[in-house]
Chain A
């Protein structure tokens, strides 16, 4: 890079002819500088992510965010979070409305992907109001992508 700059300074002092300016145009500097920035930036972010992100299995948890009426039924908004090192695919989440030890109702949802370090949202439908019962959420399993 220093070589180019040197060259640029040299050519700037050189006489110009009708063919155009002798120095590299400002637009070329801007676009190639931006390219260098994006190049180093993406390699840097990916490298940093590769170093800091563990290589352990997916650790996926699910929580209920809110319960709202949905037509004649009830909808529980859920959010799954993957704190592990790898992405889980086809992540199945099961929600059960419990009355004591007995499950009154079961609903499931499947997430295509829960990438490592990210959150995904979904919902479970129930006939009964989940707020009147205990809602037990379980992440059942995943496959490696």
Chain B
């Protein structure tokens, strides 16, 4: 294992410093829309503390998985992935802290839990952004890695989940999610669900996973069920989790709850479908 570990960037000080700088850029670029969203600052101090703590806890395995599939640097064993995941969290946290301080959202005269809450919530998208920086800002994956990811079905499902979480999170905190669902009739909701599933399938089929080998081997129904339906299911579950985390579903009737989940499920499904592009 030592031989492969030597190849990793994180064993070279200068290389790792460059990777960290790239991660910082990714954290800022990917988290910027949320850093400048009012609801995010407010959620940081009033949302349920346990739900926020759970959300932070969930972030680490996601970062770990992203590092395994596409980190800000090449990794060759799980210890490297853990180091990268923790480094990405550090970068995301510090970047969020710095920008929120410059924006005067975080001030030193505020109570500590309020400051920590605001920064911790922002550090979730920022650390994911830090982790994605390599794919977006750095060099491309080599062919071996691509093959490793493509060959694993759980890996595909994880990436779809991560894509759904990232894109869904970008809109989930806003009031508009609930507002849109209030305006929609049940028929609008059905139409949106069909549209989400259809777009998800088209994206998966054309730009996603089945682009090369799978398209030839598997029939339409197999790809549709294994990737599109499964992916939409994941997107809906993640949407529901995000709505619950941000306390958007308290007091909603079952119909409103389903509609709100479908509304957020739309961006989440697109995130799941394009996960291979982003991640």
Contacts and interface: CB of A to CB of B under 8 A. Distances in A.
Interface of A: 3-4, 7, 10-11, 14, 17, 19-29, 31-36, 38-39, 41-43, 45-47, 49-50, 53, 86-87, 89, 113, 115-118, 145
B119 A42 contact: yes
A47 B11 contact: no
Contact of A35 (B48, B49, B90): B90
Interface size class of B (residues with CB under 8 A): 35 or more
30 contacts: A11-B5, A14-B2, A19-B6, A19-B7, A20-B12, A21-B12, A22-B6, A24-B11, A25-B16, A31-B83, A32-B87, A32-B90, A35-B89, A36-B86, A38-B90, A39-B56, A39-B60, A39-B86, A42-B53, A43-B57, A45-B116, A46-B49, A46-B50, A46-B117, A47-B49, A50-B50, A53-B113, A87-B45, A116-B46, A118-B114
A42 B7 contact: no
A28 B42 contact: no
Given A20-B11, A22-B6, A118-B110, A53 B83 contact: no
Contacts of A115: 45-46, 111, 114
A21 B86 contact: no
Nearest to B53: A46
A43 B50 CA distance: 9
B201 to A, nearest CB: 37
Interface in B75-121: 79-80, 82-91, 93-94, 110-114, 116-117, 119-120
Residue among A38, A49, A87 facing the most chain B CB atoms (10 A cut-off): A38
A38 B93 contact: yes
Nearest to A7: B79
A11, A39, A41, A45 — which one has the most chain B CB atoms within 10 A of its CB?
A39
B10 interface: yes
B87 A47 contact: no
A86 B45 CA distance: 10
B217 interface: no
Given A4-B82, A46-B53, A47-B53, A35 B87 contact: yes
A144 B82 CA distance: 40
Contacts of A25: 10-13, 16
B52 interface: yes
A3 B93 CA distance: 26
Contacts of B57: 43
Nearest to B251: A144
Nearest to B1: A7
B97 to A, nearest CB: 9
A22 B5 CA distance: 7
